[in-house]
Structure 1
Amino acid sequence: MNAAPQTEQELLERALELAGFSLGEIAAKLGQQCPMDLKREKGWVGMLLETWLGATAGSKPVQDFEDLAIELKSIPISYSGKPLETTFVCVAPLTGIHGLSWEKSHIRQKLSKVLWIPVEGERDIPVCDRQIGMPLLWQPSTEEEAQLKADWEELMDMIALGEIAKINARHGEYLQLRPKGMNGKVVTEAYGASGQPIKAQPKGFYLRKSFTERILRRHFLHLAENNQDR
């Protein structure tokens, strides 16, 4: 594992070094074995990038680069450069949420500054041959944060009111609440409509593909315009 980057610029330079390499090439540089597929190794790409970039969080509930207050997110993209799946942000709290605000929430901390690294994700490309794209460092705009906050408050209100069973994929414009667990047998504590303790599937906050596509499109359009100006 590389040492933790000391500055935001150092982190970005390391991420830029990855661009154009395949996952297999980076794995070989780190002495790792590249899996045949990601069905049982779903988090492998993220962990590979964390190792190369020197992420420090491990399993702690903090940003991946804690000292820099930056979260790392790899994002699988299609041939046309669009995200192939929603992006997991963090587990949603289902109990002990009285008085919790967006400003002090774990998810806001996670999304305050994100290093996005696009990676080819089409299934017909062998995992080892999938190329890593140009990174981008993103912070939510005022409008983006306002909508994320509105989505979060809507979903958290439903959890607080014991309406967790009513939450579905239509709720939230940028942010979704979806089951987070390997299977439906995993349960955790939650509240029912009458405030009684119940068992429910763990839930996670996910960013919609339409939202992350907008982030990528805006960034790479900006890069293209800068290149034209030179």
Structure 2
Amino acid sequence: MQVSPPTKPIAPQTESELMQRAGQIAGLNLAQLAHLAGVAVPEKLDRDKGWTGQLLEWHLGATAGSKPVPDFEHIGIELKTIPVDRTGTPLETTYVCVAPLTGIAGQTWQQCPVRVKLNRVLWVPILAERGITIAERIVGYPILWSPTKAQDQALQQDWEELMDMIALGQVSQITAKTGQYLQIRPKAANSRVRTQGIGSSGQQIQTLPRGFYLKKAFTLDILRQAMAG
């Protein structure tokens, strides 16, 4: 007898409904969530970096897929999983979105994809320190967050600095240390992938695709504020 695959939950209609769902899976491990979703747990995440996030998207009813809009488009909330150690310290930077390297004239902070994605975020910590297998990683309690005025201003300052460097043909001079909380790093399957960028004389060049990432210091502040509150 063939068993039909589990039905994906429908999209939540309110913030409280989303938080209720996220709270219900807190404390479960990834093997339990994978079993409920009818999928296998990968042995490594080298080629499946987004697997954990996709698994939670399935359980929580996210609808956006790969579209450049918040994961829960109807209620304007982005989902971000964040691997942490037992002290609640983030283990890695957090990917936000692709960094545009051409056609950037006229872009403003308020309308840019980074700001849209970070306007309202559901953070889900995952206990994922070294020594814990992927299957045994545990889902933490969810945090619903919007940037404070100070956080928004700090991110805007970083974004404007980074975008100015791209516009001036200085993309190759951007390092992971550029920016206080927001950084740009190469994001490609391998070093052979290329995209168009702006050269130092305004000419088109071929360069590695880049992505915006939140530094660990920023996400640590978010987690600490949530625990303190």
Partner of 2:194: 187
2:51 to 41, 44, 49: 44
140, 143, 152: which is aligned to 2:150? 143
User: What is the rounded CA distance, in whole Å, between the counterparts of 2:80 and 2:185 in structure 1?
Assistant: 18
Residue 111 in 1 paired to residue 118 in 2? Answer: yes
Q: Deviations over 1:129-179 (max 9, x none)?
A: 111000000000000000000000000000000001111112100100000
Q: In structure 2, how many angstroms separate the alpha carbons of the residues matched to 1:38 and 1:106? A: 26
Q: Give the alignment partner of residue 168 of structure 2, picking from 161, 166, 171.
A: 161
Moved segments of 4+, more than 6 Å: none
Q: Which amino acid aligns with 2:151?
A: E
Q: In the alignment, what sits opposite 2:127?
A: 120
What's the TM-score, normalizing by structure 2?
0.95
Q: 1:37 Cα shift?
A: 2.1
Partner of 1:203: 210
What amino acid is the match of 2:88? G
Q: 1:123 deviation in Å? A: 2.6
TM superposition shift of 1:87: 0.2
Separation of aligned partners in 2, 1:169 and 1:59? 25
Q: CA separation in 2, counterparts of 1:171 and 1:94?
A: 16
Partner of 2:108: 101
CA distance in 2 between counterparts of 1:157 and 1:175 reads 14
Amino acid at match of 1:217: R
**TM-aligned CA deviation for residue 221 of structure 1:** 1.5
TM-score with structure 1 setting the length: 0.95
Q: Which runs of 5+ in 2 are unaligned?
A: 1-7
Greater CA drift, 14-23 or 122-131: 122-131
CA RMSD, Structure 1 to Structure 2 (Å): 0.7
Consecutive unaligned residues in structure 1, runs of 5 or more: 223-230
Residues of 2 paired with 1:30 and 1:195: CA distance?
Answer: 49
Displacement, 1:7?
0.7
Whether 1:69 and 2:76 are equivalent positions in the alignment is: yes
Percent same amino acid among aligned pairs? 53
| Greater helix content | 1
